[in-house]
Chains A and B, each alone.
Chain A
Amino acid sequence: MSAPTTHRSAEEIGRTAQGPRPLPPLGATREVPLPEVVTETLPSGLRVLAVRRPGVPMVETRLRIPFAGPNPTADPAFAARAELLSSTLLTGTAIRDRVAIDDELAAVGADLGVAVDPERLLVHGSGLAAGMPTLLEVLAEVLTTASYPDQELLRERERLVERISVARSQPRTVAREALQRKRFGDHPIALEMPTGEAVAAVTPEEVRATHAAGVVPRGSTLVIVGDVDPDAAIAAVGKALGEWAADGTARSLSAPPLPGAGPLELVHRPGSVQSQLRLTGPGLSRDAEGYAAFQLANLVFGGYFSSRWMENVREDKGYTYGAHSGAEFVPGGAVLGVETDVASDVTAAALLETRYELGRMVAVPPTAEEIDAARRYAIGSLLISLDSQGGLASTLAALDAAGLGVDWLRERPVRLEAVTPEQVAEAALAYFAPERFTGVIVGDADTIGSRLRALGGIA
């Protein structure tokens, strides 16, 4: 691109005769009332939440079944059974095989998916609203008569072992596993992905027994959002899922201990050209007094692009593509995560800047201007995230699991508006002081180790 100068210079491009212009003001924000949520508990104990949200002729479903293991400590065998159950729930029923299940759903433009973590089994669905009866019928069929055919299960077991090996080759997975161990020790919440060995040892009988014991309606919640009448949707659920019954209650995960302060653990990943910085400390849960102030403090620190930390390590220093902090909710509380990936040669520098910005949250608390920007972002992004059936369904399901209803969402803007700079400063002092954190750094220790250790606070 050697330039015959037919174009303007960069300097000429950046200015006009008129000069800089004033920013137009914002208009008045529309009030957006959230739709009414109709809630009913069926005789089986299943809670059903139904919401009419037209817009597109679709329906979204989220079935959340608490799915903790029986042991108080991490149980590799249970985690492996749960993971394999999740991979094979849709592979056969009393009357349909894997392909027939999928054909039945596809005919009405529907899809079901299954995911499991240490807290819950989630069966999520979506489809054309007109196909809701079929979607519910197939859902009921797998819940009550999933057969886990030997041949399907053995094949899925093999694939799962291969997929786990692929997942564990991702640096983000290595970092996540190390972080969860650091946070929660041997509590079951730390074990998010089973080992290949444990999966390979699971038998079809064990998966069927795990289903019989754990896939139960009492304690579970089904959320339905879409272009449907809520009362009719609940009636349809009652009809379709009437046969799903069991004596026991779905098992909830116990509250894990929250991480204490401590040195960062350096995890060696040979040949890494980047390092994963993962710092963590206790956070505040959504129902806690002061959560709104904590949320705003987090946004100012690293919770959105226009945060102090992002502007420093990305836009000023160029150390990273992204840096993010935020709360993760766990039974009984929350943890704060501070996460970024940086080139190996700037790992120590990035840690230094991270500690500096954490310290600055305490020493130079967020200004009124910073808080106002964070507040407007919190309210606006809430509006955007709820502006789809899927977003609303997932939010309602997550809140319900935490014992919160749609009123909590409705009142959120008001609570955010009420937060004062003093409250944000208190939250910053309580949750962002650098000494409160622990965590892990994953990278090539031969390259990054000596400079990191020289900074101190590295195990």
Chain B
Amino acid sequence: MSELELHRATLANGLRVLVVPDPATPVVGVSVHVDVGFRSEPEGRTGFAHLFEHLMFQGSESLEKLAHFRQVQGAGGVFNGSTHQDYTDYFEVLPGAALERALFLEADRLRAPMLTEENLRNQVDVVKEEIRLNVLNRPYGGFPWILLPPVLYDTFPNAHNGYGDFSELEQATLDDAASFFDTFYAPGNALVTVHGDLGEHGVDGTLALIEKHFGDIPSRPVPVRPSFGEPVPGSERRQAVPDAHAPLPALAVGYRVPDPTTKLDQYLAHALLASVLGDGEAARLQRRLVHADGLVTDVNASNGLMGGPLDARDPDTFTITAVHPGSVDPDRVLAAVDEELDKLAAEGPSIEELSRQSARWAAALHHEDDRVMYRMLGLGARELLYGRAEIATELPARIAAVTPEQVRESAAALRAQGRAVLLVEPTTETEDEG
């Protein structure tokens, strides 16, 4: 399975292409990764990158509104799109027979999306419902991905709410959309990935189809990507937010991590540190906080703000989150976390402990690779973010190569820096009986 062949090309208009055949599956995936995420959206327009992602589904020159969904599903396929810190992806997975149709659909909207006032107003309403569903009407909404960054970061790109404020979403104009598209959706700022069953087309035929459909998109200047770097905090910053729906308090701790582009092995050692702390019944924080001390209901650790590693460029965030009973002072939880990190910073994990976590990683990666959709999105995201889709296929080996000493250093690095602590405080007693 690690024998995947990666075929690359760059079209004359600058569009990057990655084709990764897999004859073992009857389905094929097509994705477009665009090098713009919510860190790049302008001040005063929070949530715009995500809103714009919605607009890209609203029709294009050859496809009236609703036609995109109907054509994908009517070909037996599934589709989605998502907006991350540093990129936005669009994809469909379909029976292999629909490969050319999928390429046509993606090319048509990358060339000439239909941006209208009516669709903009409609999708502002839809996005507001998405935010009510995922944030405003539920407990722990936006925890920690919206709530933690403003505590850890100082600059607008890193600190602001990527879902957006309602007032700013409402102020978005059609001209904002036109400007955003012309600036960021230049072909030279995007990557097309095809993975799975290429059918009778083969690799060369698929490359020819990509040239046929995407090749005449005119080249446009590619925006200069700014650095989002900012200094690592030297001390602890703490903030409390009220939550009217939450029955129990929660806390999140955020740390800065090494740059995955230039220090990949150190970055991966932080990912393994997160596993040693949080994954499985034998993990350090599970044993200490959940069972030995009985301080928390649940605890998690992750290298990456949005739930996993290697999903963003620098700066990225290491998070520890916990839900705990109101009777437990959050400082007791933090003290126990610090003690466990100190132990790891002093002695590191044991070799057996680490090899068990590596084995679980390998299994989890294979598990992901078993679905065309996840493997395609992983290859595309790593190619776009780091210029090396190979990272996705090399991960099991690179994870297995991480040493106890590297994990020890990671724990020490977290303890040596400042950090963000976010406290979620319930404002009302829950009405339900427990």
A318 contacts chain B at the CB level, 8 A cutoff: yes
B112 contacts chain A at the CB level, 8 A cutoff: yes
- Determine the residue in chain A with the shortest Cβ distance to B291: A155
A311 contacts chain B at the CB level, 8 A cutoff: yes
B200 interface neighbour in A7, A20, A27, A373, Cβ under 8 Å: A27
Contact A56 B432 (CB under 8 A): no
A436 contacts chain B at the CB level, 8 A cutoff: no
Which of the candidate stretches A8-16, A229-237, A278-286, A331-339 sits at the interface with the other chain? Answer: A8-16
Contact B70 A13 (CB under 8 A): no
Contact A343 B129 (CB under 8 A): yes
Contact B282 A13 (CB under 8 A): no
Contact A107 B356 (CB under 8 A): yes
Q: How many residues of A contact B (CB 8 A)?
A: 100
A383 interface neighbour in B26, B113, B181, B290, Cβ under 8 Å: B26
Answer whether A7 and B197 are a contact pair too, CB < 8 Å, given A20-B62, A27-B96, A343-B132. Answer: no
Contact B430 A102 (CB under 8 A): no
Contact B24 A55 (CB under 8 A): yes
Contact B95 A373 (CB under 8 A): no
Which of the candidate stretches A40-48, A67-75, A165-173 sits at the interface with the other chain? Answer: A165-173
B73 interface neighbour in A109, A159, A305, A389, Cβ under 8 Å: A305
B175 interface neighbour in A10, A107, A166, A169, Cβ under 8 Å: A10
B416 contacts chain A at the CB level, 8 A cutoff: no
B95 interface neighbour in A29, A98, A108, A272, Cβ under 8 Å: A29
Chain A residues numbered 1-42 whose CB sits less than 8 Å from any CB in chain B: 1, 3, 6-10, 12-16, 18-30, 32
Residues of chain B within 8 A of A246, CB atoms compared: none
Contact A165 B287 (CB under 8 A): no
Answer whether A8 and B96 are a contact pair too, CB < 8 Å, given A102-B282, A321-B130. Answer: no
Answer whether A305 and B69 are a contact pair too, CB < 8 Å, given A169-B430, A380-B77, A388-B371. Answer: yes
B183 contacts chain A at the CB level, 8 A cutoff: yes
A384 interface neighbour in B65, B78, B126, B432, Cβ under 8 Å: B78
Contact B287 A273 (CB under 8 A): no
A271 contacts chain B at the CB level, 8 A cutoff: yes
B178 interface neighbour in A8, A197, A319, A390, Cβ under 8 Å: A8
Give the distance to chain B from A343, nearest Cβ to Cβ, in Å: 6
B325 contacts chain A at the CB level, 8 A cutoff: yes
A320 contacts chain B at the CB level, 8 A cutoff: yes
CA distance A25 to B101 in the complex (A): 7
Give the distance to chain A from B344, nearest Cβ to Cβ, in Å: 17
Contact B65 A381 (CB under 8 A): no
Q: How many residues of B contact A (CB 8 A)?
A: 106
A163 contacts chain B at the CB level, 8 A cutoff: yes
Contact A26 B101 (CB under 8 A): yes
A365 contacts chain B at the CB level, 8 A cutoff: no
Residues of chain A within 8 A of B27, CB atoms compared: 383-384, 387
* Interface 1/0 per residue, B412-434 and A, CB below 8 Å: 00000000000000000011111
Contact B133 A274 (CB under 8 A): yes
Answer whether A169 and B360 are a contact pair too, CB < 8 Å, given A58-B370, A101-B281, A384-B93. Answer: no
Contact A56 B122 (CB under 8 A): no
Chain A residues numbered 159-206 whose CB sits less than 8 Å from any CB in chain B: 159, 161-166, 168-172, 195-197, 200
Answer whether A55 and B61 are a contact pair too, CB < 8 Å, given A1-B179, A99-B281, A376-B76. Answer: no
B104 contacts chain A at the CB level, 8 A cutoff: yes
A434 contacts chain B at the CB level, 8 A cutoff: no
Contact A377 B74 (CB under 8 A): yes
Contact B1 A57 (CB under 8 A): yes
Contact B122 A315 (CB under 8 A): yes
Answer whether A306 and B73 are a contact pair too, CB < 8 Å, given A10-B115, A29-B97, A162-B325. Answer: yes
A169 interface neighbour in B25, B133, B139, B287, Cβ under 8 Å: B139
Which of the candidate stretches B232-240, B244-252, B305-313 sits at the interface with the other chain? Answer: B244-252
CA distance A6 to B180 in the complex (A): 11
Answer whether A58 and B70 are a contact pair too, CB < 8 Å, given A14-B112, A170-B139, A274-B137. Answer: no
* Interface 1/0 per residue, B342-362 and A, CB below 8 Å: 000000000010011101101
Residues of chain A within 8 A of B334, CB atoms compared: none
B367 contacts chain A at the CB level, 8 A cutoff: yes
CA distance A318 to B77 in the complex (A): 24
B362 interface neighbour in A16, A111, A128, Cβ under 8 Å: A128
Contact A23 B101 (CB under 8 A): yes
Contact A341 B75 (CB under 8 A): no
CA distance A270 to B431 in the complex (A): 10
Q: Which of A21, A32, A372, A390 gathers most chain B CB within 10 Å?
A: A21
Contact A161 B434 (CB under 8 A): yes
A379 contacts chain B at the CB level, 8 A cutoff: yes
Residues of chain B within 8 A of A168, CB atoms compared: 247, 430, 432
B123 interface neighbour in A3, A27, A58, A318, Cβ under 8 Å: A318
15 pairs from A and B in contact (CB 8 Å cutoff): A7-B183, A13-B113, A21-B61, A21-B104, A32-B26, A54-B24, A55-B25, A126-B363, A162-B297, A165-B247, A166-B297, A315-B122, A318-B121, A342-B129, A380-B95
7 A-B pairs with least C-beta separation: A380-B76, A318-B125, A196-B434, A109-B363, A7-B182, A106-B356, A109-B359
Besides A13-B178, A14-B61, A58-B367, 13 more A-B contacts (Cβ < 8 Å) are A1-B42, A10-B177, A14-B113, A22-B62, A29-B95, A55-B370, A99-B281, A106-B356, A168-B247, A315-B65, A321-B133, A383-B26, A384-B94
Using CB atoms and an 8 Å cutoff, list the residues of chain A in contact with chain B. Answer: 1, 3, 6-10, 12-16, 18-30, 32, 54-58, 90, 98-99, 101-103, 106-111, 126-128, 152, 155, 158-159, 161-166, 168-172, 195-197, 200, 270-274, 304-306, 311, 314-322, 341-343, 372-373, 376-377, 379-381, 383-384, 387-391
